[in-house]
Amino acid sequence: MFFDISLARHRRFRPLTAAALALGLAAASGCSSDSGAGDNTVKVGLVASLSGTYKPVGTDLRAGFELYLKTHGNKLGGRKVELIVADEGDGPPTAVPAATKLVKKDKVDVLTGLVSGGSVAAVMPLINQAKIPFLGSNARPPVKDLEYVWTTSFMSDEPGKAIAPYVKEKVDGPVYAIGPDYQGGYDELRGFTDEFKRIKGKLANPNGKTTWTPFPQTTNFMPYFADIAKTDAKAVYCFYAGKASIDFAKQYAQSDVADLPLYTAFVTEGSVLQAQGNAAKDIYSVLNYAPDLDNAANRKFAADWTAEYDTQPTTYAMSSYDAAGVLDKAIADAAKDGDVTSETINKAIAGLGQIDSPRGAWEFGEKAHSPVQTWYLRQVRPDGNQLANVMVQDLATLGG
């Protein structure tokens, strides 16, 4: 669903030192919380992949949330925060017991995180039963009951939907679609193929459907690249993240299709870019964030992040940082009206309006409780003495 919101134009900048940091906003204080952590303390449970294929993603989710706390006096909405972190692993089998412990034993007021779309779907019954807000900070599939469900990231089909028109315009011929065979892969590729076909684009896949690679066991992509070479593909679109994206990019650069333009979601995002090295050069990606966006919120975030980790910030870290920012505002608003509880925090999230974010201004849409936001085309290019995902242009405003 398309929306128009006022967004500042973006120019490139390079974060340098922590000296460029802006002053943090003073948080409002309020009444005592009903959580088991004591007066004026809010318990936040964060579930993320701290082991397995998506460890790089989960690590950034945790780091983004922790960075916000560190730069805001370890308080949200004026309340002290007890952050309890649990390991999601590779999906539902480990995510569900991790989230269950946080909700039922630790009695958190809010749940955030979750890397896998499958994990989100599996944890939903727990969220609805406990009636606590879930503020997801990575891509999310559609869910039926949205009362307690929000995301500061995006809906899983949006990256492909945002880049499809650009690919159709730039590529003179069929495009080959390939991705991992799990829920996140299905959603990401569906967004691209549905939109691409709608605007009369043609897939190079022999059956006209996406090619799926078994997850997480696929580490050798060369047979798939050999199959692509047998088609009339003029470009490739894919989605991979974590370790799989390193294998995919490195092998692609050595394959028979290395000369075909590669358009992706996530493949070069985060610490994987350093592991990919020169194999990632020139790869295009679509995301809701680029570390060189020039706005006040991003200058602060990127400088804080660079000072802490000496790397470029990622969309994973940014979305989790924003999740903490949303809770900061919501808890402050809830405190103004009375007790700070799971229910009052959830109600306050619904009434927040526009969020000032490193990605640019956004707001929650009513249809999916996901950000209405700008999507960007990036390309891996030299930035100083290292490779970086450099913003090329705005692509679309999506969300709802």
Q: DSSP assignment of 138-201, as one string?
A: S-B---S--TTEEESS-BTTHHHHHHHHHHHHH-SS-EEEEEESSHHHHHHHHHHHHHHHHTT-
Give residue 39's pLDDT.
63
Radius of gyration of the chain (CA): 21
Query: Which residues in the chain come in under a pLDDT of 50?
Result: 1-38
3-state SS, residue 31: coil
DSSP reduced 3-state for 316: helix
Strands 175-180 and 235-239: parallel
| C-alpha–C-alpha distance, residues 190 and 265, integer Å | 12
- The confidence score (pLDDT) of residue 51 equals 95
Q: What is the pLDDT of residue 2?
A: 32
The pLDDT, as a whole number, for residue 23 is 32
Decide: 305 and 67 in contact? Cβ < 8 Å. Answer: yes
- Within a 13 Å sphere around the CA of 64, how many CA atoms are in the beta-carbon half? 36
Q: What is the four-CA torsion angle of 233, 239, 245, 247, rounded to 10 degrees?
A: -40
pLDDT of residue 38: 46
Pairing of strands 175-180, 211-213: parallel
Ordered alpha helix ranges (H), 38-132: 55-70, 92-100, 117-130
Helix, strand and coil in the chain, % to nearest 5? 40, 20, 40
308, 71 Cβ separation under 8 angstroms: no
The rounded distance, in Å, linking the Cα atoms of 32 and 34 is 7
